[in-house]
Structure 1
Amino acid sequence: MTWSTLPAQLFYFTLTLLATLSASTEEDWKPARATYYASYDPLDRVDGACGYGDLGRNGYGMATVGASQALFERGKVCGACFQVRCVEELRYCIPGTTIVVTVTDFCPPNYSLSSEEDGYCNPPNHHLLMPIAAFEKIAIWKAGNMAVEYRRVKCRREGGVRFAIDGHGVFISVLISNVAGAGDVNAVKIKGSNTGWLPMGRNWGQNWHVNADLVNQPLSFEVTTSDSVTLTSYNVAPKEWRFGVSYTATKQFQDQ
């Protein structure tokens, strides 16, 4: 049977189903506002609320964003990627341009100011604080507090997922970064060669911790992102792993 011989009702049902499935794979644009900070600002170099450290050295560069409280979800959204475009301000918007940014920081509320005026990041505002280098990809800097639209998109990363191990003794803290796909991590497990899988707790952002004696054991990790995709990486850190060292997995989340 060919497309030309399908009954008309079945043909139109098939087209409707395909359109629905296509639309469901892409999030709708949502309204927000955006401001920027200057390139010489210390925010360019500090860890930020997600704990990623030097953003340039760790692969995030200036394509980053600080999210307001309504978006930040107490750090759960760290590592997620937003596609952003300028709207309404026709004098300042750069037509047809978008930028994909990674959530690496928190834009805190200022309750001494009204959310309708200068309290940009106060609830319930959806606000994005961007480096000026990112802001100027979609608008002229004179736009100031600018109307934008954003949507979640998949993150694309070079190389494998990174695990920076810190702590002391039986307290182990792991910063997880360079995560592709959904980008934001919801659950982590760690395993030594002499243990089973041990669930880790979220400390802040994408810093996870566990109390366990894992010295002199190669370490494996099981990472689950917000879209319920799990990546298992065996023996990421060798038996001689050390605190203060970052280890990179050979695997990465693939586009689904």
Structure 2
Amino acid sequence: MELISFNHKLGIVCVILLVLNSALLCCFADSYTKSRASYYNTPDGYGNPWGACGYGEYGRTLSGGNVAAVSGSLWKGGSGCGACYQIRCKIGQYCDEDGTQVVVTDYGEGDRTDFIMTEHAFSNLARDSASSAKLKKYGVMDIEYKRVSCKYSKSNVLLKLHENSNNPYYFAILLLNVGGKCDVAAVQLWLEDKKEWSPLRRVYGTVFDYENPPGGKITLRIQMDCAERLVWEHPKKPIPSNWNAGQAYDTGLQF
């Protein structure tokens, strides 16, 4: 009887510890990190079409221009491209309580900053236009941020053929509208004659390429890093054999 009672109590303790551990992990994952942020100017206050992620014009206006360049720790060799962050500043009389959300489209190191935001995004940290003008005078200021899920409810993940692609000699792609909190870790191409997957090279940012790709339809798979859990995702359809630079294909995937 005592052994049964002991095992019962031990079981209860284990359950409590598991619940507490899960709660702590959730709280940690949802916590803010202290840092600093600045902003850069463009003629319209929106993004830079030459950002290091390779998004081009798409990256300039993505999320209504609420985009940012990030430091190396968030850039992660380019796999941080497309990540979404909630940012808020802490100057009570000027800062909006919720702050604003930005999408990573570029790499940039500042004065101990993790974010160099567009002027448009930086302004959205403020309570109102008058407060925005006050914040801009700081130039660089203390903020706190956390990773949040990107949401593209009206679009699946898109595979876009980079403008430098040249069928059939050079195949280069970039991934657009990647939702959730996952990073693109790798892309592979199926070689039918060898019955094996072959890796594409990450050229920079979110641009992957493959020299002398196989003829015919191109089948890809995408490896997503979701909180250190690697998952392979397969687009619903292959890229047709008549692919050309600039074309975008719906993967049928949502993350």
Coarse TM-score class (shorter-chain normalised) = 0.7 to 0.9
Cα deviation for residue 8 of structure 1 reads 7.4
Map Cα deviations across residues 155-192 of structure 1 (whole Å, 9 max, x no partner): 22232111111322422111112111234211111236
Gaps of 5+ in 1: 1-6, 110-118
Structure-2-length-normalised TM-score: 0.78
1:225 matched to 2:224? yes
* Partner Cα separation in structure 2 for residue 8 and residue 229 of structure 1: 38
* Partner Cα separation in structure 2 for residue 193 and residue 56 of structure 1: 34
Residue of structure 2 in register with 1:188 after alignment: 187
1:152 matched to 2:152? no
* Partner Cα separation in structure 2 for residue 63 and residue 9 of structure 1: 51
Say which structure is richer in helix.
Answer: 2
Residues 99/53 of structure 1: CA separation in 2 closer, same or farther (3 Å cut): same
- The sequence identity of aligned pairs, in percent, is 27
Residue of structure 2 in register with 1:86 after alignment: 89
- Specify the code of the residue in structure 2 equivalent to 1:213: P
- Specify the code of the residue in structure 2 equivalent to 1:221: L
* Partner Cα separation in structure 2 for residue 11 and residue 136 of structure 1: 51
Residues 193/240 of structure 1: CA separation in 2 closer, same or farther (3 Å cut): farther
How many residue pairs end up in the alignment?
Answer: 231
Any residues of structure 2 matched to 1:1-256 within 5 Å, and which?
14-25=15-26, 26-38=29-41, 40=43, 44-55=47-58, 59-87=62-90, 89-95=91-97, 97-107=98-108, 109=109, 119-120=110-111, 125-139=112-126, 140-141=131-132, 142-143=134-135, 144=138, 145-158=140-153, 159-166=155-162, 167-168=165-166, 169-191=168-190, 196-215=196-215, 217-227=216-226, 228-253=230-255
* Partner Cα separation in structure 1 for residue 104 and residue 53 of structure 2: 8
Cα deviation for residue 64 of structure 1 reads 1.5
RMSD over aligned Cα, in angstroms?
2.8
Q: Secondary structure at the match of 2:219?
A: strand
* Partner Cα separation in structure 1 for residue 217 and residue 18 of structure 2: 48
* Partner Cα separation in structure 1 for residue 63 and residue 232 of structure 2: 22
Map Cα deviations across residues 127-162 of structure 1 (whole Å, 9 max, x no partner): 211123222332232223221111222222232111
Cα deviation for residue 104 of structure 1 reads 0.6
Q: Is the 8 A contact 1:190 1:200 kept in 2?
A: yes
Residues 102/23 of structure 1: CA separation in 2 closer, same or farther (3 Å cut): farther
- Specify the code of the residue in structure 1 equivalent to 2:171: I
Gaps of 5+ in 2: 1-7
- Specify the code of the residue in structure 2 equivalent to 1:67: V
* Partner Cα separation in structure 2 for residue 156 and residue 22 of structure 1: 25
Residue of structure 1 in register with 2:3 after alignment: none
Residues 9/194 of structure 1: CA separation in 2 closer, same or farther (3 Å cut): closer
Map Cα deviations across residues 221-245 of structure 1 (whole Å, 9 max, x no partner): 2111222122111434223222331
Q: Is the 8 A contact 1:172 1:212 kept in 2?
A: yes
- Specify the code of the residue in structure 2 equivalent to 1:174: I
- Specify the code of the residue in structure 2 equivalent to 1:224: Q
Q: Is the 8 A contact 1:191 1:219 kept in 2?
A: yes
Map Cα deviations across residues 63-88 of structure 1 (whole Å, 9 max, x no partner): 2111023432332211112121222x
Cα deviation for residue 42 of structure 1 reads 7.6
- Specify the code of the residue in structure 2 equivalent to 1:131: T
* Partner Cα separation in structure 1 for residue 197 and residue 222 of structure 2: 11
- Specify the code of the residue in structure 2 equivalent to 1:232: H
Map Cα deviations across residues 33-71 of structure 1 (whole Å, 9 max, x no partner): 112234625862513110111136874332211102343
Cα deviation for residue 198 of structure 1 reads 2.0
